[in-house]
């Protein structure tokens, strides 16, 4: 299972990427706006420290979205990746970018039906928004993600879901269902990477290390 760091903060990104578990950085407009910087300058810095960085396009008209994608990709063509809101126009943008040879993530995908349409448009990664269904008491967020993965498996799609992790206990459940990618919010990283049983097991060797160091 691959993990992405959800942040646009340079300092936090440097700290969390050093833990060695993240493929790169994934952002949304909210975390970008929090930084109070020009997005091009911000992503230039993010690309400097991260293997890859996802930028989410502003939902709008097709040509405007394509122009925005071109501008952001130019920052670092090897590291920049694009998330496209899967609106009606967004599906057209996904197709146009895919036809350029780009690997595009469809975001704001609330249902399995909409995932199938995004894949048909060429998306190779899906950011599910099944939490919207949970808030409407239709099905749980996790069930929505599992339903999407079952379709991916049945159809043999070369597509990865990238779901948000909101509790560390979700990680093995998603992994067991074949989910291959997820993002973790930077505020949760240290909590998720603290495991008392691991620390206790490592501490059991302290007396042995003291004896080794004495030689």
Run of H or E including 56: strand 53-56
What's the pLDDT tens digit per position in 24-72? 999 999 999 999 999 999 999 999 999 999 999 999 999 999 999 999 9
What's the pLDDT tens digit per position in 74-128? 999 999 999 999 999 999 999 999 999 999 999 999 999 999 999 999 999 999 9
DSSP secondary structure code for residue 85 in this structure: E
As a whole number of angstroms, the distance between CA 129 and CA 178 comes to 18
As a whole number of angstroms, the distance between CA 102 and CA 72 comes to 13
* Band of residue 135 on the pLDDT scale cut at 50, 70, 90: confident
For the chain, list the domains and their CATH numbers: 2-213 (3.20.20.70)
* Band of residue 130 on the pLDDT scale cut at 50, 70, 90: confident
Residue of 2, 11, 40, 83 marked active site: 83
Q: Is 44 a catalytic residue?
A: no
As a whole number of angstroms, the distance between CA 78 and CA 66 comes to 18
- Element counts in the chain: helices (H) and strands (E): 12, 8
DSSP secondary structure code for residue 188 in this structure: G
């Amino acid at each position: 299972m691959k993990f992405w760091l959800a942040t646009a903060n340079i300092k936090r990104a440097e700290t969390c990427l050093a833990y060695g578990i993240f493929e790169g950085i994934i952002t949304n407009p909210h975390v970008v706006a929090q930084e109070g910087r020009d997005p091009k300058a911000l992503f230039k810095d993010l690309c400097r420290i991260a293997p890859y960085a996802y930028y989410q396009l502003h939902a709008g008209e097709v040509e405007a979205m394509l122009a925005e994608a071109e501008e952001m990709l130019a920052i670092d063509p090897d590291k920049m990746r694009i998330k496209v809101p899967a609106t009606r126009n967004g599906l057209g943008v996904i197709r146009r970018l895919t036809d350029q040879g780009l690997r595009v993530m469809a975001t704001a995908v609330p249902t399995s039906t909409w995932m199938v349409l995004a894949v048909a448009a060429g998306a190779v990664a899906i950011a599910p928004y099944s939490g919207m269904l949970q808030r409407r008491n239709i099905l749980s967020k996790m069930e929505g993600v599992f339903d999407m993965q079952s379709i991916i498996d049945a159809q043999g799609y070369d597509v990865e879901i990238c779901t948000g992790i909101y509790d560390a206990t979700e990680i093995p459940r998603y992994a067991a269902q074949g989910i291959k990618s997820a993002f973790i919010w930077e505020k949760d990283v240290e909590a998720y990477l603290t495991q008392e049983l691991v620390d206790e097991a490592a501490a059991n060797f302290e007396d042995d290390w003291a004896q080794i160091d004495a030689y």
